[in-house]
Amino acid sequence: MLQKVVTGIQLDLAGLLSEDQIQIVTQVVKKHLASLSIEEDTETETKRSDYLPLFIAAKRVEGCSEKSLRYYESTIRNMLEGIDKQERLITTEDLRCYLDTYQRRGTVSKVTLDNVRRILSTFFSWLEDEDYIIKSPVRRIHKVKTGKTVKETYSDESLELMRDHCDNLRDLALIDLLASTGIRVGELVKLNRTDVDFENRECVVFGKGNKQRKVYFDARTKIHLQKYLAERTDDHDALFVSLLKPNSRLQISGVEIRLRKIGRELSMQKVHPHKFRRTLATMAIDKGMPIEQVQHLLGHQSIDTTLQYAMVNQANVKTSCKRFIG
């Protein structure tokens, strides 16, 4: 490109200047064009590297968790490094090729691939909204079709077996609270004693993005929680603490390990905290609770997420078939 411009100038000056004068002009032009080219490259690189931090800062202001922000940043950075273009020059075809390569290079599930597509869509939509680009190149990339898998829930019998198997009041109260409220395990471990209102059988939890909401527990949970707190000798603010001294706040990994241990001892498959959440959502909808109220109870921003949690009770399908079809 640089040589093409220089050659054009030389041809235009031919016949107007001597060869020595043209050589001098050529050297001056080359010097200034090379300097301009370096400045443009530097400016371009700076602009590209500035967009991602600005996007992350904007999402942080919106209340996204640090865990989500790290996922956003690594996903987008990998895309930028893989395509190696300025954001405003990236096309739909570039992104399709990137997603195709991303899927081919490892055992990536369709769900994971669609998560990447969704994050890229959020990023480029933000660039469009902020007028950094004219139109998001992700608009023409449709949602990745994923096969629906029926995820299991706990039966009433399974819940009772886990309760009966608990050898301490903490684990019993923990299982009861997960089963009756459907809160996330991350919300559970953040709870403090002061967050619980025993009189009204409710507690305040802080969900994703530090969004606050109330959840409600049953009478059995109230009794077991009170018994657990009454037997504790520590003065820690946390609602659930480790069994061994110095009785530090129970962590997510601690809850998961404890539940897996109970599951192994009972020969139960896939015992984990999130399954309680899915079980509650399914039971609530199955008993006629409006989907909007279930959405609020679980702290979902989108009602589509709530619908994914709600599994159809197969026994009810069978009963309905007998009733309506015969």
* Whether the Cβ atoms of residue 24 and residue 4 lie closer than 8 Å to each other: no
> Has residue 40 got a pLDDT over 90?
no
- In single-letter form, the type of residue at position 49 comes to S
pLDDT at 46: 42
How confident is the model over 36-63, as a mean pLDDT? 69
pLDDT at 192: 95
pLDDT at 94: 93
- In single-letter form, the type of residue at position 263 comes to G
pTM: 0.63
> Has residue 47 got a pLDDT over 50?
no
SS3 206: strand
- In single-letter form, the type of residue at position 287 comes to K
pLDDT grade for 34, boundaries at 50, 70 and 90: low
pLDDT at 309: 65
Q: Where are the alpha helices (DSSP H) in the chain?
A: 2-13, 19-61, 66-83, 92-104, 110-129, 156-165, 169-181, 185-190, 219-231, 252-265, 273-286, 291-298, 303-309, 314-324
pLDDT at 322: 65
How confident is the model over 127-154, as a mean pLDDT? 84
**Spatial CA neighbour of 98 closest among 83, 77, 115, 113:** 83
- Separation of CA 8 from chain center: 55
Torsion over CA: 116, 77, 187, 157 (sign): positive
**Spatial CA neighbour of 164 closest among 232, 255, 265, 276:** 265
pLDDT single digits (tens) 101-116:
888 877 788 888 889 9
SS3 110: helix
Strand partners, 213: 205
The C-alpha angle with vertex 305 and arms to 299 and 308, in degrees rounded to 5, equals: 125
Strand partners, 141: none
Q: Domain segments of the chain: what residues?
A: 2-43, 46-129, 156-321
Which CATH class, in words, describes the domain spanning 156-321?
mainly alpha
pLDDT at 157: 94
What φ, ψ does residue 159 adopt, rounded to 5°?
Answer: -60, -40
pLDDT at 18: 74
Range name among 225-229, 239-243, 310-314 with the lowest pLDDT average: 310-314
State how far the Cα of 305 lies from the Cα of 310, in Å rounded to an integer: 9
Higher pLDDT, 46 or 284: 284
Percent of the chain whose pLDDT exceeds 70: 82
Percent of the chain whose pLDDT exceeds 90: 50
> Has residue 226 got a pLDDT over 60?
yes
Q: Where are the alpha helices (DSSP H) in 84-168?
A: 92-104, 110-129, 156-165
The CATH number for 46-129, chosen from 1.10.150, 1.10.3470, 3.10.110, 3.40.50, is: 1.10.150
Judge if 46-129 and 156-321 fold alike in CATH terms: no
pLDDT at 230: 95
Helix (H) or strand (E) segment spanning residue 203: strand 202-206
Higher pLDDT, 314 or 21: 21
- Mean model confidence pLDDT for the chain: 84
pLDDT grade for 318, boundaries at 50, 70 and 90: low
